[in-house]
Amino acid sequence: MFGWEFPPVYSGGLGTACYGLTKGLSKNSCKVTFVMPTGPIVHHDHVDVIVADKVSLENVKFTKVPSLLLPYLTSGGYDQRYRKLLQKQNASEGHGSLYGKDMMAEVWRFSEIARLIAATEDHDVIHAHDWMTYEAGIKAKKESGKPLVCHIHATEFDRSGFGGVNQYVYDIERKGLHAADKVIAVSNYTKGIVAKHYGVPEHKIEVVHNAVEFTDFPDLKDKQEDEKMVLFLGRITLQKGPDYFIEAAKKVLEHDPKVKFVVAGSGDMMGRMIERSAELGIANKVLFSGFLKGDDIDRAYKMADLYVLPSVSEPFGITPLEAMRNGTPCLISKTSGVSEVVTHCLKVDFWDVDEMANKILGVLHYGLLHKSLQENGSSEVKKFNWEIPARKCMDVYRQVMSESKIAG
């Protein structure tokens, strides 16, 4: 299995999904070797983790270089990291050649190491998560002859908000999806995008909805009755709709100035959102907490009276499930995959900030509505167990393995 993040080294939903899925696969008697580009060497009972830039293969010599490739990194973001690296090293002669001069070069480097790993690691199926690993999956398939499953958690159309897509990323996505023996999409919403915009036949795409991990969560003291908090937690990027959240916050505060809003996460729109809060005169009511991880994530959910996911285009969206497991009511965008499977939450068009504000006020002011969403949501989320999507992935594995044997 090729991915680009894995707990405790992760930046968002993909790492969480990979962890839950591999744990579910382990319980279904599937042995997983997980390969990611960079990070510290980590150990988990249910999965073997290989870090590509630390790999050591017998009779294979190559330079091990820390990768600049990070989860959710855009081409512009990579360029900034590359320039900072050169500045930090005083642009020493020859140093830059050890790194990919652009993001595509990093993807290529990872794919070359993946090819070597595929030649030495025993495996039956190759499972690649999202575009940065598709080249790795393709080369691994060519090396070993094993079937390839490409799992798509977010398309370039989601990340760009259906605006100007990055042609290089789109081309890699399309290449991987067509090279795959089977494609797994995280929702019917994503399946539709893959079929329409990438020309992948619908019969080749299997929908496997995500789930949520259940563990012990920290308890907090009861809040004061007049303290109402609304939470946005996720990457602060165009795809997640933080601008609509801020606009709705302004309208809510016009009716109830005691409400507090928390924006938890990081991303390229953070500066703009801080400035917009100031422009609207609500800077003292909006807290930007930065990126959260570990127990702090669940503490944030527990502190909130409502969690809002206003995504412009959300392939699935695990965060509402995380909120519901913590007993927090949710308001989610209709253009999200999770809206296909969750009933006990409120739903809204991401662009309708008036309706978003109305529903926020409704949850905060009407105790019966809040209690109903809280209790029914907590009960409903228990059915989202990672063993269910794991079993569906196992079915996909068996199918591609069977077809591979017939073709062979």
Which residue ranges make up each domain of the chain? 13-211+386-407, 229-383
3-state secondary structure of 22: helix
303/68: higher pLDDT: 303
Residue 208: its pLDDT value, please? 97
The predicted-structure confidence for 354-368, as pLDDT tens digits, reads as follows 999 999 999 999 999
Q: For residue 134, what pLDDT band results from cuts at 50, 70 and 90? A: very high
Instruction: Show Cβ contacts of residue 210 under 8 Å, excluding neighbours closer than 6 positions.
Output: 13, 17, 20, 186, 316, 318, 321, 337, 338, 384, 389
Fold annotation for 13-211+386-407: Rossmann fold (3.40.50)
Indicate the average pLDDT of the chain.
Answer: 86
* pLDDT value of residue 12: 64
Indicate whether 95 pLDDT > 50. no
pLDDT tens, position by position, 298-317: 999 999 999 999 999 999 99
Q: For the purposes of burial, counting CB atoms within 10 Å of the CB of 360, is it exposed (0-12), middle (13-18) or buried (19 or more)?
A: buried
Which distant-in-sequence residues (6+ apart) come within 8 Å of 242 by Cβ?
232, 234, 236, 263, 267, 269, 273, 310
Higher pLDDT, 70 or 394: 394
Bigger pLDDT: 196 or 52?
Answer: 196
CA distance 366 to 381: 22
Res. 76: pLDDT tops 70: no
Q: Is residue 103's pLDDT more than 70?
A: no
Q: Of 41-45, 96-100, 241-245, give the lowest mean pLDDT range.
A: 96-100
Residue 104 three-state SS:
helix
C-alpha 88, offset from chain centre: 30
Share of the chain above pLDDT 90, in %: 62
The pLDDT of residue 45 is above 50? yes
Per DSSP, the three-state class of 248 is helix
- In this chain, the answer to whether the domains covering 13-211+386-407 and 229-383 adopt an identical fold is yes
Structure tokens at 188: 């019917």
Query: Given a cut of 70, is residue 64 above it in pLDDT?
Result: no
* Average pLDDT value for residue range 310-339: 94
User: Positive or negative, the Cα torsion across 338, 344, 349, 351?
Assistant: negative
Q: What is the pLDDT of residues 190-228, one digit of tens each?
A: 999 999 999 999 999 999 999 998 765 545 444 555 679
- pLDDT bin (cut points 50, 70, 90) of residue 372 is very high
pLDDT at 182 over 90: yes
CATH topology of domain 229-383: Rossmann fold (3.40.50)
Q: Give the lowest-confidence range in 166-170, 254-258, 380-384.
A: 166-170
